[in-house]
């Protein structure tokens, strides 16, 4: 569904006025979509990430809904919770108060937005690349090691032609 924005202006730092109408589109309109809830959800997630600005150079990766950062003994750790909107620890299955020897990331690589991989101390491997279905065949190609290779190739000689073939 497309929208034709007629007018957009900020009324204050916290309020924006949008005048819009449905654009002429082929097919029927979806009646159960609320663009304002979607916009508010994204805005709220961004505000939460701004609260984590104190992490500064410890941040390795952040997205609209996630953050990966380094941590040493004595470093500030953002508060975790188990409710909607709270930060959770995805390495330890969302455990808010993990055991003293909880798992952590030992190697991390990101090839760009929504494309990252890591290994953990306990031997877990996680690969996330938006748009790539990690079936058995693709999982053999898209690995943390292959992402590291792509990043090294780009950094070494700005090789933008390096790529992985997936099915």
Q: Distances from the Cα of 135 to the Cαs of 127, 141, 142, in angstroms?
A: 12, 10, 10
How many Å apart are CA 107 and CA 70, to the nearest integer?
11
CA gap 82, 104 in Å, rounded: 19
Residue 142: which residues within 8 A CB-CB, separation 6 or more?
A: 117, 127, 129, 132, 134, 164, 166
What 3-state DSSP class applies to 147?
Answer: helix
pTM of model > 0.85? no
List pLDDT tens digits, range 138-166: 888 888 888 888 888 888 877 666 555 44
Tens-place pLDDT, residues 63-80: 877 889 998 888 998 888
Mean pLDDT over the full length of the chain: 80
Residue 48 above 50 pLDDT?
Answer: yes
- At 167, the pLDDT band (50, 70, 90 cuts) reads very low
CA-closest candidate to residue 102, choices 115, 114, 93:
93
Closest CA to 132 of 108, 155, 162, 163: 163
């Amino acid at each position: 569904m497309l929208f034709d924005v007629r007018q957009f202006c900020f009324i204050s730092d916290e309020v924006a006025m949008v005048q819009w109408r449905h654009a002429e589109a082929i097919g029927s309109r979806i009646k159960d979509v609320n663009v304002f809830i979607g916009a508010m959800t994204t805005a709220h997630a961004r505000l939460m990430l701004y609260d984590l600005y104190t992490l500064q150079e410890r941040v390795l990766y952040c997205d609209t809904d996630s953050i990966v950062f380094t941590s040493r003994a004595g470093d500030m750790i953002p508060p975790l919770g188990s409710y909607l909107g709270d930060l959770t620890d995805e390495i330890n299955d969302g455990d808010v108060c993990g055991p003293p020897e909880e798992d952590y990331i030992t190697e991390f690589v990101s090839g760009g937005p929504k494309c990252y991989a890591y290994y953990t101390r306990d031997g877990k491997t996680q690969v996330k690349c938006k748009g790539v279905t990690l079936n058995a065949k693709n999982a053999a190609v898209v690995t943390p090691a292959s992402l590291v290779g792509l990043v090294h190739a780009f950094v070494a000689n700005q090789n933008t032609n390096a790529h992985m073939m997936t099915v």
